[in-house]
Amino acid sequence: MRIERENPARTDELVGAVESSDAVAVDEVVARARAAQAQWVAVPVDKRAALLREASARVREHLEEIATLTARETGKVLADSRGEAGFAATVLGFYADRGEALLTPGGYDDVRGRMSVRHRPYGVVAAITPWNAPLILTTLKLAPALVSGNAVVVKPSPFAPFGIGRLLELVGRDLPAGLVQVVHGGAETATALVSHPGVDRVAFTGGESAGRAIASLAGRALTPSVLELGGNDAALLLDDAALDDAALERLVMAAFATSGQVCMAIKRLYVHRSRLDEVVAGLESAAARVLRTGDPLHDGVSMGPVVSGDSAARVTGLVEEARAAGAEVRELGTVDPATDLSRGYFVRPTLVLGAGDASRIVAEEQFGPTLPVLAFDEVDEAVARANAGDLGLGGSVWSADEDRAFAVAARLDAGFAFVNTHNRTGMALHAPFGGVKRSGWGREYGDDGLWEYVQPCVVHAPAAFRAGGAGLAANAYPGS
């Protein structure tokens, strides 16, 4: 079946089309991946790392081409897409270095006996990825998996198959044929891949409903999985938050970059009541300076459309539902005069004031350009409200007192929490990233992100049974 993808900023323009892969095609791809992996695992880790570094350089050489494709298919502004492509190249280099540093076999040969610990790759990794940061979210799986000796089959989102397709071609170019492959399609293709008996590890990033489907398929096949799911991140602005222009602009972009369609965007803003009016006015002025909606390829635009008509309808529906329940809605930012917003899936960014904690716009991941702003009186109350709900991806605390902010941030139910920033400006490639509660399991980034793709395997010759050793009764526990 042919899947077409339109440009979400100009829906009459086709970015391209891909053929979806059925179960037979998936079967062939997995067989090729298994054959390639058998060769690849025999390549020493320093050589694998060197090939990844070369791949990273090739991605940088083609950065503009990859970024433009990504901007046209996702609706992310070109500067963002360039940043993402550059970060993906950095991820490839980072895991080349970490792989070389960590994957040398360990062990000992001394009075305790002899032990070796080596890190065995799983084999074939299936990477199922979303559309919103396709380059980064794929390379965070690809790079650690490859450096540790796995083959990878990627199933990108049908909303964004082209930029990542080009990146994967460049990465795979000098690697054994079949080591890096792509299958296209939606849930059916993902299902065929994840349940395939030739797949040894599943790495998924996406929303809750697809996550549940993937986890149960992987569970039935007894294939271990890493799941990076959605978030409903709260930012807490304490009574002493230092909110200069730069901080307010950071807040705006942490909520509205990529039209709010970022797993770790600020999705709920809790403000100490004493600062509420000042913060709302400050966010409006900051948005007037930095938030311009329009075509992602136009200069000066900082926010594009949302990804689809369904997405636009869902976000608009949430805002209207809140308005009908008595909330006040304020439109933010400016519009690029050279963009005809009616040609694409554009949703004007809004602040929603006075929504209840139980309203869907607060309680659910809205994944769009709207931000509920809520007042709180006590820090304990703000923490409890931030921690309500099933999701626990990120969070942030804003205060002029770093120690105070740190202490409050540590109380958030979150895999990571930032101080005085949020979203991409807080990321650190060396720190583990992932969610608690229903935001997923397993980690990406850092050394933890590499350990997800290997299993330690031990060979042990206890000293007790060496010639002249002390021996041990036939069924005894050592050291008991």
Contacts of 203 (CB under 8 A, 6+ apart): 125, 126, 127, 128, 141, 145, 225, 226, 442, 452
| Binding residue for ligand NAD, selected from 49, 89, 137, 301, defined by CB under 6 A | 137
- Inter-CA distances, 259 with 166, 305, 313, 369, 376, Å: 24, 7, 14, 5, 26
Q: Which of residues 236-275 bind ligand NAD (CB under 6 A)?
A: 263
Find the helix or strand (DSSP H, E) in which 405 lies.
Answer: helix 402-409
Find the helix or strand (DSSP H, E) in which 17 lies.
Answer: strand 10-19
Which of the stretches 107-115, 206-214, 336-344, 452-460 binds ligand NAD when contact is defined by CB under 6 A? Answer: 206-214
Q: How far is the CB of 315 from ligand NAD (least distance, A)?
A: 13
Q: How far is the CB of 158 from ligand NAD (least distance, A)?
A: 6
DSSP SS3 for 282 = helix
Whether residue 349 contacts residue 312, with contact meaning beta carbons closer than 8 Å, is answered with no
Q: How far is the CB of 170 from ligand NAD (least distance, A)?
A: 21
Q: Which x/- pattern over 392-421 shows residues binding ligand NAD (rule: CB under 6 A)?
A: -x----------------------------
Given the complex with ligand NAD, which of 40 and 416 has the nearer CB atom?
416
At 29, give phi and psi (nearest 5°). -60, -45
Given the complex with ligand NAD, which of 122 and 204 has the nearer CB atom?
204
Q: How far is CA 424 from the centre of its chain?
A: 11
How many other β-carbons are positioned within 10 Å of the β-carbon of residue 32?
18
The residue annotated as part of the active site, out of 263, 365, 444, 452, is 263
263 included as an active-site residue: yes
Q: Which x/- pattern over 140-179 shows residues binding ligand NAD (rule: CB under 6 A)?
A: ---------------x-xx---------------------
Q: How far is the CB of 1 from ligand NAD (least distance, A)?
A: 14
Given the complex with ligand NAD, which of 102 and 265 has the nearer CB atom?
265
Q: Which x/- pattern over 349-378 shows residues binding ligand NAD (rule: CB under 6 A)?
A: ----------------x-x-----------
Q: Which x/- pattern over 11-50 shows residues binding ligand NAD (rule: CB under 6 A)?
A: ----------------------------------------
Distance CA 342, CA 111 (A): 76
Distance CA 308, CA 34 (A): 36
By CB under 6 A, is residue 207 in contact with ligand NAD? yes
By CB under 6 A, is residue 129 in contact with ligand NAD? yes
Q: How far is CA 140 from the centre of its chain?
A: 8
Radius of gyration for the chain, computed over Cα atoms and rounded to the nearest angstrom = 24
Angle between helices 208-221 and 187-194 (to 10 degrees): 30
84 included as an active-site residue: no
Tokens 């608690």 identify what position? 436
Distance CA 158, CA 19 (A): 10
CA neighbor of 376 nearest in space, from 282, 279, 284: 279
The residue annotated as part of the active site, out of 228, 249, 365, 444, is 228
| Binding residue for ligand NAD, selected from 29, 71, 215, 229, defined by CB under 6 A | 229
Given the complex with ligand NAD, which of 355 and 393 has the nearer CB atom?
393
- Extract the tokens encoding 154: 């990627």
Whether residue 204 contacts residue 420, with contact meaning beta carbons closer than 8 Å, is answered with no
Q: How far is the CB of 29 from ligand NAD (least distance, A)?
A: 15
Q: How far is the CB of 207 from ligand NAD (least distance, A)?
A: 3
Given the complex with ligand NAD, which of 317 and 354 has the nearer CB atom?
317
Which of the stretches 9-17, 66-74, 225-233, 423-431 binds ligand NAD when contact is defined by CB under 6 A? Answer: 225-233
At 207, give phi and psi (nearest 5°). -90, 175
- Extract the tokens encoding 246: 């730069």
- Residues marked as catalytic: 228, 263
Would you tell me which residues interact with ligand NAD (CB under 6 A)? Answer: 128-133, 137, 155, 157-158, 186-187, 190-191, 205-207, 210, 213-214, 228-231, 263, 365, 367, 393, 435, 440
